[in-house]
Amino acid sequence: MSWIDIGAIDDIPLRGARKVKTKLGCVAVFRTDEATVFATSNTCPHKGGPLNEGIVHDNKVTCPLHNWVLDLESGEALGADEGRIETYAARVENGRVLIEASLLGRQAA
C-alpha cells in the first residue's frame, strides 16, 4: 500500500480528531492514544454530523449531533443504532501521520 503524509501526530489532540479534505469527501483522523490513529469518513451515517467534532473515547467516537457511537476500527455504529462509516488505513511513523494514498482519489501508478 502506498501512503501519504498528512501532518505531525502532535497536530491532532490526544483523544481528539482533525479533518482532512480529500477528493472522496472529508475524512476524520482520530488520535485515540499517544501513537494510535484511525481514519474514517467524517460523515455520520445518521444525519451527516461532523465526526471530527465528536468526543473520542477508547477506539470510538460519539457524534456531536445526536450521540451515535461509532467504532473506529470496524466503522460500525454501536448499540441500537444501525449504520456504518468508511474506514481507511492510517498509521504513525516517526511522529508523522500517514493515511492510505488511495484517498488522493487517483490510481497509484
Q: Applying CB under 6 A, does 66 fall inside the site for ligand FES?
A: yes
9 binds another protein (CB under 8 A): no
Using rule CB under 6 A, residue 48 touches ligand FES: yes
The CA distance from 53 to 1, in Å, is 29
Nearer to ligand FES, 7 or 75 (CB): 75
Which of 30, 38, 68, 88 binds ligand FES (CB under 6 A)? It is: 68
**Judged by CB, which is closer to ligand FES: 39, or 85?**
85
Q: Check residue 72 for interaction with ligand FES (CB under 6 A).
A: no
Q: If contact means CB under 5 to 8 A according to the sort of partner, which of another protein, ligand FES, none does residue 92 touch? A: none
Quick one: which of 73, 14, 78 has its CA closest to 63?
78
| List 3, 36, 46, 55, residue binding another protein (CB under 8 A) | 55
Asked if 70 and 61 touch (Cβ cutoff 8 Å), the reply is yes
DSSP string, 90-102: EEEETTEEEEEGG
CA 59 – CA 35 distance, rounded (Å): 13
Report CA-CA distances (Å) from 20 to 49, 78, 82.
15, 24, 25
72 binds another protein (CB under 8 A): no
